[in-house]
Amino acid sequence: MRLRINGETETYPDGITVRELLDSLGTGNRPVAVELNRKVLPGNKLKEQILREDDSLEIVTFVGGG
Amino acid sequence: MRLRINGETETYPDGITVRELLDSLGTGNRPVAVELNRKVLPGNKLKEQILREDDSLEIVTFVGGG
Amino acid sequence: MRLRINGETETYPDGITVRELLDSLGTGNRPVAVELNRKVLPGNKLKEQILREDDSLEIVTFVGGG
Amino acid sequence: MRLRINGETETYPDGITVRELLDSLGTGNRPVAVELNRKVLPGNKLKEQILREDDSLEIVTFVGGG
Amino acid sequence: MGKSLLKEAQQDRLRLGKYEFTSRLFVGTGKYPSMEVMRDALEASGTELVTVAVRRLSLKDRPRESLLDYIDTDRYTILPNTAGCYNAEEAVRTAHLARETGISDMVKLEVLGDERTLLPDPVGTLEAARQLVKDGFTVLVYTTDDPIIAKKLEDLGVTSVMPAGAPIGSGQGILNKNNIRIILENAKVPVIVDAGVGTASDIAIAMELGCEGVLLNTGIAHAGDPVKMAGAMKQACEAGRLAYLSGRIPRKLYAKASSPEKDF
Amino acid sequence: MGKSLLKEAQQDRLRLGKYEFTSRLFVGTGKYPSMEVMRDALEASGTELVTVAVRRLSLKDRPRESLLDYIDTDRYTILPNTAGCYNAEEAVRTAHLARETGISDMVKLEVLGDERTLLPDPVGTLEAARQLVKDGFTVLVYTTDDPIIAKKLEDLGVTSVMPAGAPIGSGQGILNKNNIRIILENAKVPVIVDAGVGTASDIAIAMELGCEGVLLNTGIAHAGDPVKMAGAMKQACEAGRLAYLSGRIPRKLYAKASSPEKDF
Amino acid sequence: MGKSLLKEAQQDRLRLGKYEFTSRLFVGTGKYPSMEVMRDALEASGTELVTVAVRRLSLKDRPRESLLDYIDTDRYTILPNTAGCYNAEEAVRTAHLARETGISDMVKLEVLGDERTLLPDPVGTLEAARQLVKDGFTVLVYTTDDPIIAKKLEDLGVTSVMPAGAPIGSGQGILNKNNIRIILENAKVPVIVDAGVGTASDIAIAMELGCEGVLLNTGIAHAGDPVKMAGAMKQACEAGRLAYLSGRIPRKLYAKASSPEKDF
Amino acid sequence: MGKSLLKEAQQDRLRLGKYEFTSRLFVGTGKYPSMEVMRDALEASGTELVTVAVRRLSLKDRPRESLLDYIDTDRYTILPNTAGCYNAEEAVRTAHLARETGISDMVKLEVLGDERTLLPDPVGTLEAARQLVKDGFTVLVYTTDDPIIAKKLEDLGVTSVMPAGAPIGSGQGILNKNNIRIILENAKVPVIVDAGVGTASDIAIAMELGCEGVLLNTGIAHAGDPVKMAGAMKQACEAGRLAYLSGRIPRKLYAKASSPEKDF
């Protein structure tokens, strides 16, 4: 299925969860947060949240800042 | 009739106009402005505006300020 | 005769006075002062002071300054 | 004999040395320096320097300062 | 001033809405030892715009004389302020009352945040400015030296932004030149320093930064000799303006001789 | 200025030895773009005392015109300086040469310590001042802002002590107000700030401290528009003097309203 | 420090919500020459609270390492900021994303008014602060040095008010001590100077005014030697705090000898 | 400080003649509330060099204890001063007396010009410095911030030039950074700011300018808590030195974000 991730269009197997997506992105144990279709996704929902065709995600992490 | 002027209760003849009231207060030609029952009264209405029992007026003028 | 004027060697007729020298230099009526052989020459002596071979003069005037 | 010490007149046995005088003043091992008749006395001369009638001494030490 | 400079100064005019001024010094009318001193100080200051406050007419002791008996309104443009207002509604109401006197359609908008420091409340000030511009006033607005607020006010359509150099009556001059510089960099409307002036050099400094004018009151009214100080402020304002237009020399650790090297 | 202030200003005169001045601004004649600009700047500055330097008459190219062709000596008192002298002997010699021109018996004594910074050498300055006072000169002496040196110079009998606000041509204004204050506390002769002025407010500040006058050159001569800046300096000098005489308001963290409390 | 002072310093702790800190220096993690330099600078600074920014995860070039690989989260409390947000909605959204990482429930709220100066937008900042407090965040809010805005933020329930000493990265220190003093006079929450620090003395000055802490980034990250400068900032922060607690001597024009009068 | 920084600091030593110091803070021993407080303040300050004054031994009431009972001379180098001397002869005499105690061959030369301001007399100071260098003393000389006098003293062979930041005990910090900068530009001997320090940031500023050290007394002795303030001064001195060695960021009107641009 098609997903919109951080502005890019990517293709992923149907029924994948957010957690699985993140793992496939190699985020490992680094802190990330996810917006699914413009809604902030609670951190504890990453595992169970199943993605659907055309879902749009923003995945953010921490970078250096002041 | 009773009028409320700048917080004081005063008695004036019925049917007096604002202009007449101002004259009786001796404002002469000094610049004043009037609020009638919490509404700013246009300067050009002072002459025609007739006061009624229990009307409340704020009459202001200019003082030194920075 | 030879005179040393402001570091230059110049030749002038014998017996010339300082005043005459200044006139020949075209100082006109502009303010000048003269050191003759390292001694300041009083302004009122310019006329009478006769110069001798090898006299050394510093002639100064005013320029812009702060 | 009479000695002038720091502006005071004091009486001391004849032939006393500066070192003995200092001991009698209880300077103990605290650092002091001595001027004898307006001349700075080298520190190593304290022991041998014998005082005479009417000698004038300034005895100084260190105090708090900036 | 020399004649040619004088002529030039005549032409260096400040435009505020439909008004135009030769003097860039605006002076308040409060806190003078007497009405006579105020009148003479205004004259000495050379100002063409004076601020006044709006207050209740006194009913009991009817004063035989009023402020405006001492201010020639043919000579001075009157700028009513909204001093003493602590929210937008009060300020708007005060401005409307002032306008209905028929004396002026200008207003010096002040919405204060705090009775102790008399510092402006930027939020209330923005709200009132929006309304007064909508109501057709020529709005000169007293504000902090915050460049972002200044820009927001300008975007609302005020006629002049008037940042405080320092708190009202503090006499500390311009505490943050950096902010005034940033405001000037952004501003398309005249920037007039209002409040904080303690002495003449404070005004010169404000004008040298490129401000279009200065407004003060206490610095004159509470000076030992208000009339003389008014004259000082006038000169300082002209001095600062001329210096700004002339272009000052750069600052250096040390520099070059102003006399040529000695040669004898 | 208003008429009465103007009149008063006329009477607020500065006395230096046998000379008296209405203007408290002294201006140098060096480093202008042209003689004409210098002449106009001097006029615009309103000064009554101008400094000049002493240099060798040029023999080769005899200049058709000289500095004094552009300075009306009936209008301006001439103050020759000893600029470029790095020891007392040279300065004394230069002062005597200047006097023998018959133009002036005043001298602005400068004994410099260093060609790079042009800062004064206090030791050489003291030595030269002693001699020149003995030789009957009216000595105005350029010095540092060191209050002890200033006092020593005064005790030698100089007519005026002229501390540098900042290094010559640096345009940094008065770097150490504290020292100028101490000098003023002690001084019985006029204190005139000499050197360091960069813009108009610097002069106002010096005068507000209580200085009797200000001398500058580069701040005008190198300004973008020297004539206009000269006008600015004139105004600033008058402004600062008036402010000093008026008595400024005290500085506070914050203060009182200049409008009465709102009551409606 | 001496042992007893060290002990005392241990007990002089700063409480922010449910967090407590011995170090009063907060340090940013942006703009270092390398991750290693950042890590060493953080260590040298002695900080216990570091700020981080929230940005998109890069999909293309998956960096093998991330910022937090260089920040020991057992040692440092993480303070995510909302840098780069120009309105309240964005800032609130960013804060929520940061919290959902599970790393921290603190947020350094920034709502900027202008991409050029990076000065805060007080209006947007107030709006976002209201929301974030409601949403249960521990809100440390970056703001101007405007005392009225600072008070409004405090009244909304923020945990700390963080006025800018000067614009971000400007290195100008505290431009307006007067405003910081007024903010401190009013504040019941810790006041932490954020932005503007250029060198160590700037921090000492902020702490001597009575601020509870200082936050900086560029002053360390862009110094010639960031690690050494981090050590300087640490010392300066402790110095300023101790000086504030000690009580400084008053300023005078001049004063008394520290040695007794000479007597021989 | 971090270990590596600590190690580096150990190696950043100040050499004065044959002496060497790790601490760049020199502390006076006058005017403390008690000998015990002095002793503890000296310890907290981390100083390795303390100044003392020379005075008459008291004959009447023989104090059972003396200053040096509270100063471990194995730990602290003793720097006798010539405080209270108003001419060169007295200062030279006092230095010789101090040396004959056998405690130290260093002298902090002070020749004061004025009992009220305690400012140095440059002329007497130069005269005494010449003699004391000839007599083989290690001369550290208290002077004004006059760069020309500082250079003359250096040329006489003094070991350190110690300009006053401000008058003794005035607590005003460094009033004229410009002069200190020029002195540092010229100096080949260590420049140590002596006098004027009011609080910790004053020391940091002096060190950031590039001074080799700072000497103070009143700022610690008269602080509310002298021991704590001594700790503050220690930290500030180290902070300022580190900052100077690190290289600070430049000052700008405004600058760049320390967080990357937002992208989501």
Is the distance from CB of E113 to CB of E120 less than 8 angstroms?
yes
Q: Which phi and psi angles does F228 have, rounded to 5°?
A: -65, -45
User: Is pLDDT at H73 greater than 90 in this prediction?
Assistant: yes
Q: What digits encode the pLDDT tens for the residues E216-247?
A: 999 999 999 999 999 999 999 999 999 999 99
Among chain G residues, CA nearest to F180: G253
What letter would DSSP give residue E65?
Answer: S
Query: Shortest CB distance from E53 goes to which of B6, B32, B64?
Result: B64
Shortest Cα distance, chain E CAs vs residue B2, angstroms = 15
Residues of D in contact with G261 (CB under 8 A): none
Average pLDDT over residues F210-228: 98
User: Is pLDDT at F3 greater than 70 in this prediction?
Assistant: no
At residue H62, the pLDDT reads 67
Q: Tell me, yes or no, if F108 is annotated catalytic.
A: yes
Q: How far apart are CA E142 and CA E81, in angstroms?
A: 10
Dihedral over alpha carbons F119, F124, F126, F127 (to 10 degrees)? -160
Q: List residues of E whose CB lies inside 8 A of any H CB.
A: 178, 181-182, 253-254
Query: Shortest CB distance from E182 goes to which of H178, H182, H253?
Result: H253
Contact C66 F168 (CB under 8 A): yes
**pLDDT above 70 as % of chain B:** 100
Average pLDDT over residues B10-31: 92
Contact B8 E59 (CB under 8 A): yes
Which of F3, F18, F60, F108 is an active site residue?
F108
Q: Which phi and psi angles does E247 have, rounded to 5°?
A: 90, 105
Across chain G, mean pLDDT equals 94
Q: How far apart are CA G164 and CA F113, in angstroms?
A: 44
Average pLDDT over residues F113-133: 96
User: Is pLDDT at F75 greater than 80 in this prediction?
Assistant: yes
Q: What digits encode the pLDDT tens for the residues C1-19?
A: 999 999 999 999 999 999 9
Q: Exposure of G87 by Cβ count < 10 A (0-12 exposed, 13-18 middle, 19+ buried)?
A: middle
Average pLDDT over residues F176-200: 96
DSSP E strands in F124-212: the ranges are 138-143, 160-163, 192-194
At residue H65, the pLDDT reads 77
Q: Where are the alpha helices (DSSP H) in H22-79?
A: 35-45
User: Is pLDDT at F5 greater than 80 in this prediction?
Assistant: no
User: Is pLDDT at G148 greater than 90 in this prediction?
Assistant: yes
Q: How far apart are CA E73 and CA E64, in angstroms?
A: 19
- Sequence-distant (6+) residues with CB within 8 A of H264 are A6, A35, A58, A60, G54, G55, G56
At residue G262, the pLDDT reads 81
At residue G261, the pLDDT reads 81
Contact H254 E182 (CB under 8 A): yes
Q: How far apart are CA E264 and CA F7, in angstroms?
A: 46
User: Is pLDDT at H97 greater than 70 in this prediction?
Assistant: yes
Q: How far apart are CA D62 and CA D31, in angstroms?
A: 7
B49 pLDDT band (50/70/90 cuts)?
Answer: very high
At residue H193, the pLDDT reads 98
Query: Shortest CB distance from H228 goes to which of G84, G242, G262?
Result: G242
Name the more confident of G262 and C61.
Answer: C61
Helix (H/G/I), strand (E/B), else coil: D10:
strand
Shortest Cα distance, chain F CAs vs residue B29, angstroms = 21
Measure Cα distances from E251 to C5, E181, E191 in Å: 41, 17, 25
Across chain E, mean pLDDT equals 94
Across chain F, mean pLDDT equals 94
**pLDDT above 90 as % of chain G:** 87
ipTM attached to this prediction: 0.94
E11 pLDDT band (50/70/90 cuts)?
Answer: confident
With tokens 């303390």, the residue in question is H50
User: Is pLDDT at E2 greater than 70 in this prediction?
Assistant: no
Q: How far apart are CA F216 and CA F195, in angstroms?
A: 6
User: Is pLDDT at G1 greater than 60 in this prediction?
Assistant: no
Q: What digits encode the pLDDT tens for the residues H15-65?
A: 999 999 999 999 999 999 999 999 999 999 999 999 999 999 988 766 667
Q: Where are the alpha helices (DSSP H) in G142-263?
A: 147-156, 177-186, 200-208, 218-221, 226-246
Kindly tell me the number of DSSP H helices and DSSP E strands found in chain E.
9, 10
At residue D7, the pLDDT reads 92
The pTM of this model reads 0.94
Q: Which range (C37-41, F79-83, H260-264) has the least confidence?
A: H260-264
User: Is pLDDT at F114 greater than 80 in this prediction?
Assistant: yes
User: Is pLDDT at G9 greater than 80 in this prediction?
Assistant: no
Is D34's Cβ below 8 Å from some Cβ in H? yes
